[in-house]
RNA sequence: GCGAAAGUGGCGGAAUUGGCAGACGCGCCAGACUUAGGAUCUGGUACCGAAAGGUGUGGGGGUUCGAGUCCCCCCUUUCGCACCA
């Protein structure tokens, strides 16, 4: 090792050595316990940004930690390389998306290697390569076989700026997930995956992962799936054999229904209107509502409720009442049945609607008091409470004005009334979900082609498995019009039918890139497999993933799709578990000040607040850059970038390096045996700090509390500085204590700054590198970590007044006596009555006096 | 509007979960290095006060011998949801 710390030199040296020795390659024939550390794979945009650096620095710290603890660690990386930006580059600049993508990968791979992230590069994958997307297509066909992939015309989310379809997850909140443009609705024929078949499991299986996943991610997923228990009820249409089915979670309020309200898109509407005098008015109104919905852009504002009476009447199956049927803009076709019973007295929306259109308001739930829950049925009067009620009453309570159900509490009535409906054939208890099927069709070039063909004779024909992959053509005309560019590539489109050999056309839609990322981490485990996406036997050894790390922006996209995919893979026998990821960490964003303002936003090119990782590496070294991002904030917090912070990291590394240099000669030659002589009190203090630090960092790592681990390393170093022994003259005992501290420091620094750690480890006289031994992570000795004496704070009436020194095993009585004997304490309690003395063993004494 | 989380020095953040508030770092101040300093080293750094001492974890109340931590009300910020029947 050199006298001075030259990061570039050290980093090059070790990156090369790691690569030559295959240091990070995970092997199958290995008896060590396994650990799968996974970071969300990047899109190859061309440049690594600080968010990537943070993500991979966290994952790498964990991977190194586990490796040093003796685990066989799987730590792979790949490229989420299909998607929009490549195609945008093609449209705008005429470059070939494949070339653009491959060049970006080369550049970013170089950046990752310069960062020294310990990936097993032999397992690298890229979604845009046929050997990968072949298996996307394979999975698609499997889903098609099982009826889980289907095509239908539907209203889809359309981003007018990017000219593309978006899934519901990608247009959450009504805006495009990528560019923030308000989303429009369009009618298109599209491929869907039946994620709704798994809605119940997506909710129920959260139990299995709740210990390891952030609560907020599970909450968002749970909201997204939107499980809701209630009942379907059929309202017969008067003078007709038609029925209107509504969904309600509050069947107990059904006697308060004063209208049935349909969404403007409700399929029954045209038939219902057939004989209505108001037909044309209603149709005009419904048309207007549909249009407003399709182009709605001011999402912040709640739209004012509007409705129109259709003139049609329906019959409440419980009360026999005749109710008007309305059409209104606040009823959604997508949820429930597209029709609701309007109960103004007990639903805010219905109340508002009833107020506006002067519909009657009938109260049927009374607030429950303790006695009422047991009271006899209240006499029913079908009164209109519109005058008295100022707000809807939406709590559960006791039924009134509800026929035979009067007097029953809501929860009981809900169960009994659903059963009653079922017995009488006009309804049933039901569970509905908010989640919709996953629209995976994209009218895009740069994605995996949907592997089906259309034959004039045979209709839609799946591409046979042995004809996969359906390979993307080299290029196409990129017009950016929203039509799939593949449609213009004749040699792609024109094919022969696998059934009848007649002429046929290929599907020109490609798949959503979230298909690629739904199962990629299984491919890492068996990346060369040509017979299957992966060998289930190999996958079994490594999965579920032990720790997954990435941004929380994917909480309801990638992270819900991949859970769905796993359940599908389970159902076709490829995996044996329900959940693919045991523990998930959603790391915080890396932000920087925007210009001269006080705003902190995620680094981005367009805001001009980006920090180039390459520049950081050049100026400070990869080790310092990584150390800083891990130290500056807890991993889940936002990280506000600071240029001075990283200088502190370099300073620390340089100080450690200098100390190792100072000691290396003495340590490299001397043996590591415990000395014959006694340890001095200072040496014992150093050893105590060493073992306390080992214990702290080892346990911090389990929670990924990396910032406090770094702080602990710094404390250990400060203690070493204070120890201030001279390498030339130090006693054997002192040298032993220093060696113990320095070796622990170096090994525990490795997850944060691996290059300098390897260099220093070598400098300390250990050839072969840190991974030469199966298990290198130090183990804390609790005996040595224990304090020899305790400084116990003494409070008088809760205020800190003094401290007493005590042995760690001091008895409560002795501690109390010592506190009461303390001079300062005595001067304060003299002349006062001691009411009580609280002794917390090993912690504190509080003396309560009367003042 | 609904829901959730969070408010600790100039800044990022610690605090063994009810027991010494401010670890560690950044910044700042002072000093040293017989020149320079955007290098390095040493010391200091919550606030008020000369000191003794007092005050202090968004504000107000409460529980407790003891509250950053628990409970209630309020304020602020961030995030999520957007008529989900």
Is the CB of residue A196 inside 7 Å of nucleic acid strand B? no
For the stretch A111-139, pLDDT in tens is 999 999 999 999 999 999 999 999 999 99
Q: How many CA atoms lie within 13 A of A387 on its CB side?
A: 2
Question: So what's the pLDDT on residue A803?
Answer: 86
- Model confidence at A291, pLDDT cuts 50, 70, 90, reads confident
Q: Is the CB of A182 under 7 A from strand B?
A: no
Neighbours of A4 (CB within 10 A): 10
Quick check: A535 pLDDT over 90? yes
Mean pLDDT, chain A, rounded, equals 91
Is A838 within 7 A of strand B by CB distance?
A: yes
pLDDT at A296: 63
For residue A299, what pLDDT is reported? 55
The spacing between the Cα labelled CA in A478 and the C1' in B81, in angstroms, equals 37
Here the tokens at position A317 are 């199956």
Q: pTM of the predicted model, to two decimals?
A: 0.93
Residue A327: the pLDDT is 94
- CA A742 – CA A265 distance, rounded (Å): 72
Answer for A331: CB within 7 Å of strand B. Answer: yes
Q: In which band, very low, low, confident or very high, does the pLDDT at A277 lie, cut at 50, 70 and 90?
A: confident
A712 CA vs B14 C1’ separation (Å): 11
A473: left (phi over 0), alpha (psi -120 to 50) or beta: beta
pLDDT above 70 as % of chain A: 96
Strand partners, A794: A802, A845
Distance CA A64, CA A118 (A): 8
Q: Does strand B come within 7 Å of the CB of A647? A: yes
Nearest nucleotide (C1') to the CA of residue A714? B24
How large is the average pLDDT for residues A636-644? 88
Query: Which comes out higher in pLDDT, residue A318 or A302?
Result: A318
Verify if strand B has an atom below 7 Å from the CB of A610: no
**How far apart are alpha carbons A374 and A62 in whole angstroms?**
59
- State pLDDT tens for residues A494-529: 999 999 999 999 999 999 999 999 999 999 999 999
Q: What is the pLDDT of residue A159?
A: 86
Please determine, for residue A851, whether its predicted confidence score (pLDDT) is greater than 80. no
Q: Does the pLDDT of residue A297 top 80, yes or no?
A: no
- Chain A span 415-444 residues with beta carbon within 7 Å of strand B: 432, 434
A675 contacts: CB under 8 Å, gap ≥ 6: A731, A732, A733, A735, A736
Comparing every residue's Cα with the C1' atom of nucleotide B66, the nearest one is A798
Q: How many CB atoms lie within 10 A of CB A95?
A: 16
- Average pLDDT in the A422-432 region? 94
| Nearest nucleic acid nucleotide to A306, CA to C1' distance | B83
pLDDT confidence of residue A386: 65
Closest residue to B16 measured CA to C1′: A696
Per residue in A446-471, pLDDT (tens digit) is 999 999 999 999 999 999 999 999 99
Burial class (CB in 10 A: 0-12, 13-18, 19+), A512: buried
Does a cis peptide bond (omega within 30 degrees of 0) precede residue A469?
A: yes
pLDDT average, residue stretch A543-562: 93
CA A690 to C1' B18 (Å) is 29
Structure tokens at A785: 């970590």
Name which of A182-191, A372-381, A615-624 the model is least confident about: A372-381
Q: Report the C-alpha gap between A59 and A375 in whole angstroms.
A: 61
Which of A701, A705, A778 has the alpha carbon at shortest distance from A741? A778
The predicted model gives A674-696 an average pLDDT of: 91
Residue A793's nearest nucleotide, by CA–C1', is B20
pLDDT value of position A372: 47
Q: ipTM of the predicted structure?
A: 0.94
- Cβ of A646 near strand B (under 7 Å)? The reply is no
Residues 284-313 of A with CB under 7 A from strand B: 299-300, 302-305
Q: Which nucleotide is nearest to A174 (CA to C1')?
A: B82
Q: Is the CB of A721 under 7 A from strand B?
A: yes
- Is the pLDDT confidence value at A789 over 70? yes
- Å separating the CA of residue A615 from the C1' of nucleotide B27: 23
pLDDT, tens digit (0-9, with 9 covering 90-100), for A351-369: 999 989 999 999 999 887 6
- Tell me the pLDDT band of A391, cut-offs 50, 70 and 90: confident
Chain B: bases < 7 Å from a protein Cβ? 4, 11-16, 19-21, 23-27, 39-42, 54-55, 65-67, 79-85
Q: Which of residues 343-372 of A touch strand B (CB under 7 A)?
A: 347, 349
Whether the predicted pLDDT of A380 surpasses 50: no
């Amino acid at each position: 090792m050199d006298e001075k710390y030259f990061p570039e030199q050290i980093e090059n040296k070790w990156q090369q050595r790691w690569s030559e020795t295959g240091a990070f390659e995970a092997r199958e024939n290995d008896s060590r316990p396994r650990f799968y550390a996974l970071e969300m794979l990047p899109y190859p945009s061309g440049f690594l940004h600080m968010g990537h650096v943070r993500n991979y620095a966290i994952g790498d710290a964990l991977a190194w930690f586990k490796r040093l603890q003796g685990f066989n660690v799987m730590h792979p990386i790949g490229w989420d390389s299909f998607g929009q930006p490549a195609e945008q580059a093609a449209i705008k600049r005429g470059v070939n998306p494949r070339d653009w993508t491959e060049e970006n990968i080369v550049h970013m791979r170089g950046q990752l290697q310069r960062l020294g992230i310990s990936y097993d590069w032999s397992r690298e994958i890229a979604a845009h390569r046929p050997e990968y997307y072949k298996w996307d297509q394979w999975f698609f066909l499997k889903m098609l076989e099982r009826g889980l992939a289907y095509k239908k015309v539907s209203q889809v989310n359309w981003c007018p700026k990017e000219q593309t379809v978006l899934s519901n997850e990608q247009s959450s909140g009504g805006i495009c997930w990528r560019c923030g443009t308000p989303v429009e609705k369009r009618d298109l024929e599209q491929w869907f995956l039946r994620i709704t078949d798994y809605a119940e499991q997506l909710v129920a299986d959260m139990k299995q992962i709740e210990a390891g996943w952030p609560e907020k991610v599970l909450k968002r997923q749970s909201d997204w799936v939107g499980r809701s228990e209630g009942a379907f009820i059929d309202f017969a249409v008067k003078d007709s054999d038609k029925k209107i089915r509504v969904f309600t979670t509050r069947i107990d309020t059904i006697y308060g229904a004063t209208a049935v309200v349909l969404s403007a898109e409700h399929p029954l509407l045209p038939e219902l209107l057939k004989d209505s005098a108001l037909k044309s008015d209603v149709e005009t109104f419904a048309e207007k509502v549909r249009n407003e919905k399709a182009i709605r852009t001011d999402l912040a504002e709640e739209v004012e409720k509007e409705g129109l009476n259709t003139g049609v009447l329906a019959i409440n199956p419980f009360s026999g009442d005749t109710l008007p049927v309305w059409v209104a803009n606040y009823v959604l076709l997508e949820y429930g049945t597209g029709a609701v019973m309007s109960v103004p007295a007990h639903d805010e929306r219905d109340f508002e609607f009833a107020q506006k259109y002067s519909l009657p308001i009938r109260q049927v739930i009374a607030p429950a008091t303790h006695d009422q829950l047991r009271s006899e049925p209240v006499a029913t009067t079908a009164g209109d409470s519109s005058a008295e009620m100022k707000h809807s009453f939406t709590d559960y309570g006791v039924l009134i004005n509800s026929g035979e159900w009067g007097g029953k509490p809501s929860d009981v009535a809900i169960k009994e009334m659903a059963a009653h409906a079922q017995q009488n054939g006009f309804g049933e208890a039901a569970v509905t979900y908010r989640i919709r099927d996953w629209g995976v069709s994209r009218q895009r070039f740069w994605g995996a082609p949907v592997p089906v063909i259309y034959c004039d004779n045979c209709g839609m024909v799946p591409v046979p498995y042995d004809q996969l992959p359906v390979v993307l053509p080299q290029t196409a005309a990129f017009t950016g019009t929203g039509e799939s560019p593949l449609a213009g590539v004749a040699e792609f489109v024109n094919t022969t039918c696998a059934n009848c050999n007649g002429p046929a056309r290929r599907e020109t839609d490609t798949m959503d890139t979230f298909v690629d990322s739904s199962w990629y981490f299984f491919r890492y485990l068996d990346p060369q497999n040509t017979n299957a996406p992966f060998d289930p036997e190999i996958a079994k050894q490594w999965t579920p993933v032990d720790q997954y790390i990435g941004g929380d922006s994917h909480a309801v996209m990638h992270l819900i799709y991949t859970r769905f995919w796993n359940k599908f893979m389970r159902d076709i026998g490829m995996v044996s578990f329900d959940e693919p990821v045991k523990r998930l960490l959603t790391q915080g964003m890396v932000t920087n000040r925007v210009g001269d303002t006080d705003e902190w936003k995620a680094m981005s090119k367009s805001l001009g607040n980006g920090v180039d990782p390459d520049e950081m590496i050049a100026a400070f070294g990869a080790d310092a850059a990584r150390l800083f991002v891990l130290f500056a904030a807890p991993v889940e917090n936002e990280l506000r970038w600071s240029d001075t912070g990283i200088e502190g990291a370099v300073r620390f590394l340089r100080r450690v390096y200098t100390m190792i240099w100072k000691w290396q000669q003495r340590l490299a030659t001397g043996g590591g045996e415990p000395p014959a002589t006694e340890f001095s009190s200072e040496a014992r203090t150093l050893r105590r700090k060493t073992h306390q630090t080992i214990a702290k960092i080892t346990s911090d790592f389990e929670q990924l509390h990396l910032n406090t681990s770094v702080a602990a390393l710094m404390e250990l170093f400060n203690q070493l500085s204070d120890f201030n022994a001279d390498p030339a003259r130090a006693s054997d005992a002192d040298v032993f204590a220093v060696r113990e501290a320095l070796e622990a420091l170096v090994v525990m620094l490795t997850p944060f700054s691996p290059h300098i750690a390897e260099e220093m480890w070598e400098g300390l006289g250990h050839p072969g590198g840190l991974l030469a031994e199966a298990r290198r992570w130090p183990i804390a000795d609790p005996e040595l970590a224990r304090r020899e004496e305790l400084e116990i704070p003494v409070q008088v009436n809760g205020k800190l007044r003094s401290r007493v020194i005590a042995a760690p095993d001091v008895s409560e009585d002795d501690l109390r006596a010592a506190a009461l004997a303390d001079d300062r304490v005595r001067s304060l309690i003299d002349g006062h009555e001691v009411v009580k003395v609280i002794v917390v063993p090993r912690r504190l004494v509080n003396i309560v006096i009367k003042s």
